[in-house]
Chain A
Amino acid sequence: MSTVDRTEGETPVSSTERMQTRFGSRAALLGIAGGALLLLSGLLSWSFDDRVLGDLSIRFYPAGIQIYAMVVGVVGLVLGLLLLRRPAWLDPGRGLRALGYGSLAFVLAALISIAYQAGGLVNVNEGGWVGLVGAALLLAAGLLSPARHLDVHAWPRLASWQEISIIVVLLAVLLFTTAYTLNIDDAATFGCLLIVILTVAISLLGSGFGGYVGFIGQNNRRPLLLAAFLVAFLFPFTQDGSDANMSIATQILIFAATALGLNIVVGLAGLLDLGYIAFLGTGAYVGAMLSQSAFATIGWKPPFLVVMLLGMMVASIFGLIIGTPTLRVSGDYLAIVTLGFGEIFRLAMFNLDGNNGPELTNGPNGIPAIPDLNFFGFDFGATHTLAGIPLGRFSNYYFLLLVLIAFVILVFTRLNDSRIGRGWVAIREDERAAEAMGVNVFGLKLLAFAVGASLAGLAGTIKAHQDTSVTPDQYIFLESAFLLAAVVLGGMGTVAGVLVGATILKLLPEKARVVNDYRLLIFGLLLVIMMRFRPEGIVPSKRRQLEFHEDDEELVELAQTEHLEAK
């Protein structure tokens, strides 16, 4: 922040800035050299011991993390070459900096795990050291290249089919990466891969590609959405009938659908709800009590479509009940009221066991043995084979949930773009002003609660069947906190953000078993750090981001440009 204490006459320049002006021209060469070294290191042996991180001892035949090093190397090379060309809408220097830090972290993590698992740094072969030097060069290149102002008007204009093919290629890369990542079982390798993915993503986004991809996404909304769903639809076919990953995927989808519902309440209308998991619970209990299970407490067993509608209805009635007090309380108080409702729901489900109240929920034991769904003869519990690829039980639920998610996203985006959605945003930003402008504040708040709750209720009815049992301890406060975290981490008010947040929060604890015991610790820390440094989330909505960074001129300009482009 050297601009702040700048005095008349002389302009003090920080040592980094001086270095940047002196060596800026050579940064590109450093970046290219670093990239090349990392590329080379992939061909060399990393470890003497062939049992660490897969087999890294073979030369000229890259495997495991050697490939990751080569990927980082290629990105470094490209950014270095771009640094020579300097297009106006890109800042490869910023990307190189992120890539430098990330690749350094990656190489160090790899070296540490080699040293740790094989016993000593002696076991690190020349490839590791070459990689370390390459990463250091990338970082040096990043630090030495002068920061630039991005000109967002200079985005290259391509033909529509070219833009669409960029989107398709990106999504294909995404699908491939996801499938590849999910098939890694070794925790250390998984960690390294995660560092690499994050590094590459952050450095590409940071250097200005993110804005461009967002821009072509805006231009081709429909193909983008279709392609995204196609990718999601194809995902089970990459799993070769394995149920382990599909089970995680279905959990992520349920979680994401619920978080999208919460996003309406928190992200759009700005009403903080800390008891939201109760709506998912309502749906699940409705689904369980009306299911074919022998433990279901209500004799009526309607077809599942009816159960779904009932789950939605009951949840939205609860939403209305919880929403009513919002007329009188707001802000922190609303958070506490909803938290209280959430706890009441859990305690009630816990106690309605026939001893302490009417027999409805079997108390702490819950309702087990819920049978699989059966739609018009299509059994969700059985494995179906399509084009030679077996699709297991969880794949069936995955497709059903995909339809659900599509529906939820449709509801969300339609509402967001409508008069109602604008009313919610107005309430979020200034309730009094909104009321003065004729927005029906109370009605819209109630509607937010009802719509959000009904979406969660719908997800709950499916969850009951997918989990095959429903117990009260699935619906504790911590789960509400997780949902809120997914919304906040991803970026309030955006669909993509919430999907990213939900995926991170559900996937990490499932895959990284080492951190399993520490996941809540990390979760808590993550919330604190996120609020401190990036309160708008990973994929922020531009308008929302402005609320946190009011004095950022560049951002204002960007938001306005994107707004105009979208028209």
Chain B
Amino acid sequence: MEFAQQLVNGLTLGSLYALIAVGYTVVYGIIQLINFAHGEIFMIGAFGALSTWLVFFDGNTSVWVLPIMIIGAIAASVIVAVLMERVAYRPLRNAPRLAPLITAIGISVFLQELVRLGYNNPLLFISTWNPFNFPSAKQKVPFPQIDVVTGAAFNLGGVTIQRSTIFTIGALIVCAAGLFYFVSRTRTGRAMQAVSQDPDTARLMGINVDRIIVVAFVIGATLAAVAGVAQGLQVTNINFKMGFLAGLKAFTAAVLGGIGNVWGAVLGGLTLGLVESMAVQFIPGTFGGSPWKDVWAFAILILVLVFRPQGLLGAKVVDRA
């Protein structure tokens, strides 16, 4: 019983990680860049959904609000991600590898601070104009609870299944299927595959590599935004710091599965989620329990990077300097 319960918890957690991890993997697959700021895109998705709700549906908890919130979340994330690519990453495409990594750290800090300072006061210190009565993002902000997802939990033979769990896992299935269709069946998707294999040859074949890179960022941001909504519904409050740890875990998941491999990211995310929730329950002694679960996640990250850097599903990579 305990095991089944932790299985459900682990799958929920894992689905969230997987949704974010896919974004890491898609971007890495195309331009070999660890987009450190991807966790912040996830955070901005959650705040985008919250803003949509506060502006248009304050107090309304009907079912049909949810899809519009998701659209709002996606819009916010995609805009930020595309801007980020255009302003910060594109000029550095041929720079030494250290440069974009440091840029990414800079963007990550910048976006966190922008949300912290600017959420209820978009003009920062010029005036305290707050058009929609947004709450301050300096503390935890309650996330709108939509009835259909936050109603009474199901009980399946002693195992509690929250409705938000079903939403999260469902979102992962829908997104993964959509991504699979996109990558394998559409022209743009096949162009993405080509670019990830060999950008120069792809360019010779008439593929607009810049556009494909933007598409990769858009896909990653979309999935991160969905994850942001799912996280908000599950944990019931969001804050400006939520992106950092989530991003780190998702990166772990992406590496675990084999970075650059979409199915690997899904598998890695689920595995990481399961390991974390099992570790909380079944590791005996003083080093078990939830205070140490992040430590186990990072330990897995390090072990995987050291002993199987290509990940579970990844192909052997010759040079990853």
Residues of A within 8 A of B (CB): 270, 272, 274, 325, 328-333, 335-337, 339-341, 343-344, 347-348, 350-351, 356-358, 431, 477-478, 481, 484-485, 488, 517-518, 520-521, 523-528, 531-532, 535, 547-548
Most A CB contacts (10 A, CB to CB) among B100, B112, B292, B307 go to B292
Contact pick for A525, options B101, B110, B294, CB 8 Å:
B110
Contacts of B54-78 to chain A: CB distance below 8 A: none
Contact A532 B244 (CB under 8 A): no
Specify which chain B residues have a CB less than 8 angstroms from the CB of A356 in the assembled complex: 286-287, 289, 291-292
Q: For residue B152, give the distance in angstroms from its CB to the closest CB of chain A.
A: 33
| Overall SS of chain B's interface | helix
Contact A272 B98 (CB under 8 A): yes
| Interface 9-residue window, one of B156-164, B211-219, B224-232, B296-304 | B296-304
Q: Name the residue of chain B whose CB is nearest to the CB of A527.
A: B106
Contact A329 B289 (CB under 8 A): no
Contact pick for A336, options B98, B112, B244, B251, CB 8 Å:
B251
Specify which chain A residues have a CB less than 8 angstroms from the CB of B255 in the assembled complex: 333, 336
How many A-B pairs with Cβ below 8 Å? 136
Contact B291 A351 (CB under 8 A): yes
Most A CB contacts (10 A, CB to CB) among B103, B252, B255, B307 go to B103
Specify which chain B residues have a CB less than 8 angstroms from the CB of A328 in the assembled complex: 305-307, 309
Specify which chain B residues have a CB less than 8 angstroms from the CB of A274 in the assembled complex: 105
- Bound CA–CA A525/B111 (angstroms): 9
Specify which chain B residues have a CB less than 8 angstroms from the CB of A527 in the assembled complex: 102-103, 105-106, 109
- Given contacts A347-B292, A357-B287, A477-B244, is CB(A333)–CB(B305) below 8 Å? yes
Q: Name the residue of chain B whose CB is nearest to the CB of A338.
A: B302
Specify which chain B residues have a CB less than 8 angstroms from the CB of A332 in the assembled complex: 34, 97, 101, 320
Specify which chain A residues have a CB less than 8 angstroms from the CB of B101 in the assembled complex: 272, 332, 335
Contacts of B27-74 to chain A: CB distance below 8 A: 34
Most A CB contacts (10 A, CB to CB) among B98, B99, B307 go to B98
Q: For residue A542, give the distance in angstroms from its CB to the closest CB of chain B.
A: 16
Specify which chain A residues have a CB less than 8 angstroms from the CB of B91 in the assembled complex: 532
B222 at the interface (CB under 8 A from A): no
Contact pick for A348, options B96, B105, B109, B295, CB 8 Å:
B295
Q: Name the residue of chain A whose CB is nearest to the CB of B97.
A: A331
The number of residues on chain B lying at the interface, defined by a beta carbon within 8 Å of a beta carbon of chain A, is 48
Most A CB contacts (10 A, CB to CB) among B100, B248, B298 go to B298
Q: For residue A135, give the distance in angstroms from its CB to the closest CB of chain B.
A: 25
- Bound CA–CA A520/B114 (angstroms): 9
Contact B103 A532 (CB under 8 A): yes
Specify which chain B residues have a CB less than 8 angstroms from the CB of A358 in the assembled complex: 286
Contact A548 B96 (CB under 8 A): yes
Q: Name the residue of chain A whose CB is nearest to the CB of B294.
A: A347
Contact B96 A531 (CB under 8 A): no
Specify which chain A residues have a CB less than 8 angstroms from the CB of B105 in the assembled complex: 274, 481, 484, 527
Contact A528 B103 (CB under 8 A): yes
Specify which chain B residues have a CB less than 8 angstroms from the CB of A348 in the assembled complex: 295
Contact B110 A524 (CB under 8 A): yes
Contact B95 A535 (CB under 8 A): yes
- Bound CA–CA A485/B104 (angstroms): 12
Contacts of B89-141 to chain A: CB distance below 8 A: 91-92, 95-103, 105-114, 117, 124-125
Q: For residue B315, give the distance in angstroms from its CB to the closest CB of chain A.
A: 16
- Given contacts A272-B98, A325-B302, A357-B286, is CB(A333)–CB(B320) below 8 Å? yes
Give 6 nearest A-B pairs by CB, closest first: A527-B106, A524-B110, A524-B109, A521-B113, A340-B298, A528-B106
- Bound CA–CA A275/B286 (angstroms): 25
Q: Name the residue of chain B whose CB is nearest to the CB of A523.
A: B109
- Bound CA–CA A258/B26 (angstroms): 36
Q: For residue B309, give the distance in angstroms from its CB to the closest CB of chain A.
A: 6
Binary contact track B265-302/A, C-beta < 8 Å → 1, others 0: 00000000000000000000011010110110011011
Contact B103 A344 (CB under 8 A): no
Specify which chain B residues have a CB less than 8 angstroms from the CB of A343 in the assembled complex: 248, 294, 298
B88 at the interface (CB under 8 A from A): yes
Contact B100 A336 (CB under 8 A): no
Contact B34 A341 (CB under 8 A): no
5 contacts between A and B (CB under 8 A): A337-B301, A344-B295, A356-B287, A520-B113, A532-B91
Specify which chain B residues have a CB less than 8 angstroms from the CB of A488 in the assembled complex: 102
Q: A325-B302, A340-B299, A521-B109 are in contact. List 6 more A-B contacts (CB 8 A).
A: A333-B309, A336-B305, A520-B113, A521-B110, A523-B106, A524-B112
Specify which chain B residues have a CB less than 8 angstroms from the CB of A333 in the assembled complex: 255, 305, 309, 320
Q: For residue A248, give the distance in angstroms from its CB to the closest CB of chain B.
A: 22
Q: For residue A210, give the distance in angstroms from its CB to the closest CB of chain B.
A: 24
- Bound CA–CA A485/B98 (angstroms): 12
Contact B98 A330 (CB under 8 A): no
- Given contacts A272-B101, A477-B244, A532-B91, is CB(A336)–CB(B34) below 8 Å? yes
- Bound CA–CA A520/B291 (angstroms): 28
Contact pick for A531, options B106, B117, B320, CB 8 Å:
B106
- Bound CA–CA A274/B97 (angstroms): 15
Q: Name the residue of chain A whose CB is nearest to the CB of B138.
A: A517
Q: For residue B284, give the distance in angstroms from its CB to the closest CB of chain A.
A: 13
Contact B320 A330 (CB under 8 A): yes
Contact pick for B110, options A344, A528, A531, CB 8 Å:
A528
Most A CB contacts (10 A, CB to CB) among B248, B292, B294, B302 go to B302
Q: Name the residue of chain B whose CB is nearest to the CB of A521.
A: B113
- Bound CA–CA A527/B101 (angstroms): 10
Q: Name the residue of chain B whose CB is nearest to the CB of A482.
A: B109
Q: For residue A525, give the distance in angstroms from its CB to the closest CB of chain B.
A: 6
Contact A524 B305 (CB under 8 A): no
B321 at the interface (CB under 8 A from A): yes
- Bound CA–CA A521/B121 (angstroms): 15
Contact B106 A525 (CB under 8 A): yes
Most B CB contacts (10 A, CB to CB) among A270, A331, A358, A526 go to A331
Q: Name the residue of chain A whose CB is nearest to the CB of B303.
A: A325
Q: Name the residue of chain B whose CB is nearest to the CB of A326.
A: B306
Contact A331 B108 (CB under 8 A): no
- Bound CA–CA A47/B303 (angstroms): 65
Q: Name the residue of chain A whose CB is nearest to the CB of B28.
A: A332
Specify which chain A residues have a CB less than 8 angstroms from the CB of B309 in the assembled complex: 328-329, 333
- Bound CA–CA A340/B251 (angstroms): 11
- Bound CA–CA A412/B110 (angstroms): 32
Specify which chain B residues have a CB less than 8 angstroms from the CB of A431 in the assembled complex: 321
Q: For residue B306, give the distance in angstroms from its CB to the closest CB of chain A.
A: 4
Contact A531 B99 (CB under 8 A): yes
Contact B109 A337 (CB under 8 A): no
Specify which chain A residues have a CB less than 8 angstroms from the CB of B305 in the assembled complex: 325, 328-329, 333, 336-337
Specify which chain B residues have a CB less than 8 angstroms from the CB of A520 in the assembled complex: 109, 112-113
